Amino acid sequence: MIGRLNHVAIAVPDLEAAAAQYRDTLGADVGAPQDEPDHGVTVIFINLPNTKIELLFPLGEDSPINGFLKKNPSGGIHHMCYEVDDIIAARDRLAEQGARVLGTGEPKIGAHGKPVLFLHPKDFNGCLIELEQA
């Protein structure tokens, strides 16, 4: 069901410093910041030959990333995103197998302009999973 790894998301306490580290220290292709108000984050994508890294920073006081950074003040891996061909079919199949879809269960538009869903980390070995329609 899942396709390629789209990205690994890392929550960071300082978005500019993290972007500079990837750009200047590691020599990566670092994109521009983009606000995603529906998800409560500002993101920067780092383009790698085989996938992407998504840097996440809180956008506002209600951002879900605030809680993560309180528990992990230095930042850390927040989630992994896999591509699926049909997000509704994937959601329905996962729900039938007992996986919990977070939120309303309806896809939202993600940072790439495509529908996304998140799956409860307790159902996937402690890892928050994002599914993005390819």
Q: What is the pTM of this model?
A: 0.93
Q: Please tell me the class of the 5-133 domain.
A: alpha beta
pLDDT of residue 131: 98
pLDDT of residue 13: 98
Distance from CA of residue 39 to its chain's centroid? 10
pLDDT of residue 133: 98
pLDDT of residue 85: 97
pLDDT of residue 92: 97
pLDDT of residue 22: 98
The whole-angstrom separation of Cα 33 and Cα 56 is 10
The whole-angstrom separation of Cα 126 and Cα 79 is 10
* Burial zone of 112 (CB within 10 Å; 0-12 exposed, 13-18 middle, 19+ buried): middle
Residues (pLDDT < 50) of the chain are none
pLDDT of residue 41: 97
Q: Are 42 and 35 in contact (CB under 8 A)?
A: yes
Active site residues: 130
